[in-house]
């Protein structure tokens, strides 16, 4: 069973993340990129907040979601029911008996973050060979010409929210170098009447865009991004 990186915040995930993102707006932008494609893979679906919006706007989409977090997937199952297929799988070992037109990650296994003038990949997968393998597994589940969309995120900034004076949520973000490798540590805390009631620390590997794109090319993807800060788009090349 894959490790659940988000168990400690599953009780307050929707309350915190849902307040800080406009999932409706993200869904509308994403639908433009889907065009008329139907078979969609969400890599790191979490509680399904984005998929809920996608299906409200386009109910005929055939969406499959994977995630390593059993606790968040249980919430996705409760809110989405039979509208989606859900699997508790690590994308590094992805093994599904179907192919997709589009795979995307919205703050899931990976996201792009802006660090000053630099774009970095923030990856929940920490080891380089595992990241490489994750891209290969996505490619293996996309039809030729299929698209792989990695959405940008602002999760590399600290955040503090107060709700009704009783509950507060916080995310403290710090950056570390360890043996020449760069990491983000995201520390999520929920307090109720001043008492800590939920806590989760998440570590992410940071990688330079150029390096990431060389891994993506090796997995058979070419960059077809238009000039956008919102996401980067890669297309699976046809087998020669
Ligand atoms: C910040 S949450 C985002 C969830 C959701 N996409 C959203 O927008 O609310 C990151 C999600 O990615 C999942 N995840 C991290 N690494 C993963 C991996 N290797 N394979 C599949 N899911 C992964 C986590 O368990 C978590 O649910």
Q: What is the best residue among 63, 76, 124, 128 to mutate for testing ligand 1's pocket, by most ligand atoms within 8 Å of CB? A: 124
DSSP calls for the chain: ----TTGGGTTTHHHHHHHH--HHHHHHHHHHHHTT--EEEEET-TT-HHHHHHHHH-TT-EEEEEES-HHHHHHHHHHHGGGEEEEE--GGG---S--EEEEEESSSSEEEEEETTEEEEEES--SHHHHHHHHHHHHHTEEEEEEEEEEEE-TTS-EEEEETTTEEEEEEEEEEEETTEEEEEEEEEEEETTEEEEEEEEEEEEEEHHHHHHHHHHTTEEE---S-SSEEEEEEPPP-
Q: Provide the pLDDT for residue 17.
A: 83
Res 154: pLDDT: 87
CA of 66 to the centre of ligand 1 (A): 8
Longest distance between any two alpha carbons in the chain, whole Å:
62
Task: Determine, yes or no, domain membership for 2.
Answer: no
pLDDT of residue 228: 73
Has residue 195 been placed in a domain? no
Q: How many structural domains does the chain have?
A: 1
181 within some domain: no
Q: Are 171 and 187 in contact (CB under 8 A)?
A: yes
25 phi-psi bin (left φ>0, alpha ψ -120 to 50, beta other): alpha
Which CATH number is 108's domain given?
Answer: 3.40.50.150
Q: Which residue puts its alpha carbon closest to atom 7 of ligand 1? A: 46
The answer to whether residue 188 is domain-embedded is no
- Ligand 1 centre from 208 Cα, in Å? 21
For the record, the structure tokens of 88 come out as 């508790």
Identify the pLDDT of residue 42.
Answer: 98
Task: Specify the pLDDT at position 113.
Answer: 96
pLDDT-flagged residues of the chain (< 50): none
In a domain, 190, yes or no: no
pLDDT of residue 62: 98
Would 180 be classed as within a structural domain? no
What pLDDT is attached to residue 159? 84
Q: How far is the CA of 107 from the centre of ligand 1 (A)?
A: 6
Q: Which domain holds residue 50?
A: 7-157+206-225+232-236
| Residue 67 Cα to ligand 1 middle (Å) | 6
- Nearest atom, ligand 1, residue 125 CA: 19
Residue 22: per-residue pLDDT: 93
How confident is the model at residue 86, as a pLDDT? 98
Does residue 192 belong to any structural domain of this protein? no
Q: Domain for residue 164, yes or no?
A: no
Q: Ligand 1: residues whose CB is within 6 Å?
A: 5-6, 17, 43-46, 49-50, 66-69, 72, 90-92, 106-109, 124-125
Nearest ligand 1 atom to alpha carbon 124:
16
């Amino acid at each position: 069973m894959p490790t659940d990186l988000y168990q400690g915040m599953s009780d307050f995930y929707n309350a915190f993340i849902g307040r800080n993102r406009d999932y409706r707006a993200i869904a509308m932008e994403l639908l433009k990129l889907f065009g008329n494609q139907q078979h969609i893979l969400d890599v790191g679906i979490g509680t399904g907040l984005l998929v809920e919006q996608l299906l409200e706007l386009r109910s005929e989409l055939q969406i499959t979601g994977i995630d390593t977090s059993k606790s968040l997937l249980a919430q996705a199952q409760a809110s989405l029911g039979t509208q989606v297929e859900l699997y508790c799988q690590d994308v590094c070992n992805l093994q599904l008996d179907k192919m997709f037109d589009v795979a995307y990650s919205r703050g899931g296994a990976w996201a792009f973050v802006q660090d000053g003038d630099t774009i970095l990949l923030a990856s929940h997968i920490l080891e380089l060979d595992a990241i490489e393998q994750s891209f290969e597994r996505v490619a293996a589940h996309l039809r030729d010409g299929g698209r792989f969309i990695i959405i940008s995120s602002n999760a590399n900034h600290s955040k503090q929210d107060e709700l009704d004076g009783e509950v507060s949520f916080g995310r403290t973000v710090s950056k570390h170098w360890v043996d020449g490798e760069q990491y983000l540590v995201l520390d999520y805390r929920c307090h109720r009447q001043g008492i800590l009631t939920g806590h989760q620390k998440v570590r992410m590997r940071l990688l330079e865009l150029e390096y990431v794109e060389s891994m993506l090319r090796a997995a058979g993807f070419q960059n077809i991004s238009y000039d956008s800060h919102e996401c980067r788009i890669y297309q699976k090349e046809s087998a020669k």
